[in-house]
Structure 1
Amino acid sequence: MAKDVAKDLMALDKALPELMSKTAATGLVPRELQAYVAPALEEFRNEMATELGMDNYAYIDKGELPSRLNGKVGGGMTKKMVSFAEAVLAWNYKNRTMLNEAADKQPEMITE
């Protein structure tokens, strides 16, 4: 069982950069992840509301809440998603920079 999980994680680790580049290039969620978007956002929304003191947000009639409270939930989500995207961009940029620097430092092959 643990070997299967490790194998899946290794496969994901190899596939993730390709998946991220496709997603970043197109702005679309890959087909294999689309089914997970709505439930993930719902869970994230409820977690954000809990952080703001609305523990039962999933069961509240959102139409009965003041716009300011609903806006705080959406605004908090946006702020966290932007921070996450910044971290992903920085990580990708750092890795590209390191790869370019490593390629520049390698001795050139002489072909005669």
Structure 2
Amino acid sequence: MSKELISVDLQPEDLMKITAATGLVPRELVPYVKPAMEEFRNEMAAELGLTDYASMDKGELPSRQNGKVGGGMTKKMVAFAEAVLAWNYKNRVLLKES
């Protein structure tokens, strides 16, 4: 990554605080959101057997299939957020104990 795009070296706990406090993605990460979400969506669709999802006409798919892609993405993002929250909480608890 170029230095122009990354203005600060963010640690996971810093990123979580910034995002939680503002509800926004830090400016240096904004260019990566759309391509990352598109990649994630296509991976989720492939897991569901829709291997050419990126080039499909989504209007031709039943809403149930499109819903499964979005629902699967949401489920994985929530699980990831739970893991990050638990990791951060565990580290804070361990810091207090030491």
Give the TM-score, by structure 2 length. Answer: 0.87
| Structure-2 separation of matches of 1:49 and 1:18 | 31
Q: String of CA shifts for 1:12-63, please: whole Å, max 9, x gaps.
A: 4xx2132221112222100000110000000000000000000000000001
Greater per-residue helix proportion: 1
Out of 67-76 and 15-24, give the one that drifted further: 15-24
Classify the secondary structure of the residue corresponding to 1:53: coil
What residue ranges of structure 2 are gaps of 5+ in the alignment?
1-7
Range with greater deviation from structure 2 (47-56 or 20-29):
20-29
Match of 2:64 in 1: 68
RMSD (Å), alpha carbons: 1.3
SS in 1 for 2:49: coil
Partner of 2:52: 56
Q: In structure 2, how many angstroms separate the alpha carbons of the residues matched to 1:18 and 1:25?
A: 11
1:37 aligns with 2:27: no
Between Structure 1 and Structure 2, how many residues are aligned? 90
> Which structure would you say has the larger Rg?
1
Is 1:92 aligned to 2:88, yes or no?
A: yes
TM-score by length of 1: 0.76
Report 1 or 2 for greater relative contact order, CA contacts < 8 Å, sequence distance ≥ 6. Answer: 2
